[in-house]
Amino acid sequence: MEFDKDLAARQEARRLAKEAEAAQRQLAQMSQAQLDAIAEGIAQAFSQAAPTLAEMAVRETGFGNVEDKITKNRFASEKVAEAVRDMKTVGILREVPEKKLWEVGVPVGVIAAIVPSTNPTSTVCYKAMIALKAGNAIVFSPHPKAITCTLKAAQIVAEAAERAGAPRGSVACLTIPALAGCQELMAAAEVRLILATGGPGMVKAAYSSGKPAIGVGAGNGPAYIHHSADVAKAMACILRSKTFDNGTVCASEQSIIVEKGMAEKVRAEGQRQGFYFMNSQEAGLLAKLLFRPTGALNPEIVGKSADILAQKAGFSVPHGTKVLVAREQEAGPTRPYSMEKLCPVLAFFVMDSEEAVLEKCMEVLKHEGSGHTFAIHAEDEQVIRRFGLKIPVSRFLVNTPAALGGIGATTGLFPALTLGCGAVGGSSSSNNISPLDLINIRRVAWGKEETQSKKVTVNADLVELVTQKIMERLGS
């Protein structure tokens, strides 16, 4: 009998959703201390497995590099554990005596989690930790190009959670790489929330499922280097960001924007640090490689290093080249460098004034990336304030590598691998998604006491008339 892959995938999705629901009923009865212990257990086990999982991910997907994927795995375990350690998520979260009000944390239930191929192992740890910390069960849907490493990551997380006290089925992962299985999981009656990280199509499917969903839009963040910036530090930040895991973090910079008077200074410093500014012919060759005729990003270039990209495009670059840069002035569907490029490639915009820079940043983000991330390098607080009040993003980063600052590694933002883009970016949240996004708040409120005495309204003219009559009688 011929194996029906889609049918098997749907059956598996239904089974795992039912098992997760049963497990979640038990998680919902656990104390904060018990849930904390589960989150800690996951973090410790995953951190130990970070190198092995990083090697598996690079070998299977071909994206990024092992060293930075180890860093991502440890970020998703150690850094997230540190951030959630003292966070209250269940039981009474807050009492407001003056309002006679309690706020109680309530888990949302079973979560369906979509895992991207760019972060196929770290996303599993991060999402499992924030889900179980909040008393939820979670079922993962892996990307077909990363199923082996994602399954291994989910196995490590599930076993660690169970050792720490979680019921079996609290963490699960689809094993059959079929769209039918993912669709069945999202539609399952037991699933209460979808946590989607992936391409635009997958995120759209999550929001179209009829279930509450937290999804993220495309990143396409510009980086403005203001004339008050330390240019060497600014370029070092951008270099660190664009080369981190070969540019696969959606918060990483996608363009550098400067005023005309800064162009040569930025270019010279960039060349010194390993940025290669392509000529028009080279930029044209690379543009054909970056995107398919349909306008979709070519998956073959995702997470590849600068020298490999140049080689694939058909030109050579100096030894030590780390980032490829193309001159650009416009944004739109016919301008490939104005879009998100998940590799170490940048657009370079040179504008006539600060006002023109602001307008260009808005234009780029309107085309793609609204609500996501913007970076500015400046010491002038006035320009930071001006741009901070205008740029339509959820993460406005100052003097930091955008890839690392956006996820909360080098800033005070919550450490997260799912970055909400807000309503302007088509997302239900503008947060770096945390356990607090995965609970509901039950409010216990007492009635207020009402004053029983009635107020008497006295007419001044009437008082005067009565007084006069009384005086007349007394006089008679």
Contacts within 8 Å (CB) and 24+ apart, 242-245 = 242/322, 242/323, 242/344, 242/345, 242/346, 242/403, 243/322, 243/323, 243/344, 244/68, 244/71, 244/401, 244/403, 244/404, 245/63, 245/64, 245/65, 245/68, 245/69, 245/71, 245/72, 245/118, 245/303
Gap between the Cα atoms of 407 and 384, Å rounded: 20
Secondary structure (DSSP) of 399-431: SS-HHHHHTTSSSSS---S-B--TGGGT-S--S
Based on the residue annotation, tell me whether 250 is a catalytic residue of this protein. Answer: yes
Active-site position among 250, 343, 361, 421: 250
For 345, the 3-state DSSP assignment is strand
Gap between the Cα atoms of 66 and 58, Å rounded: 6
Gap between the Cα atoms of 283 and 281, Å rounded: 5
Q: Judging by beta carbons within 10 Å of its beta carbon (0-12, 13-18, 19+), is residue 4 exposed, middle or buried?
A: exposed
Cα dist from 312 to 17, 194, 293, whole Å: 43, 37, 17
Q: What are the residue ranges of helices labelled H in 296-367?
A: 306-313, 354-367
Closest CA to 211 of 224, 195, 199, 228: 195
The set of catalytic residues is 250
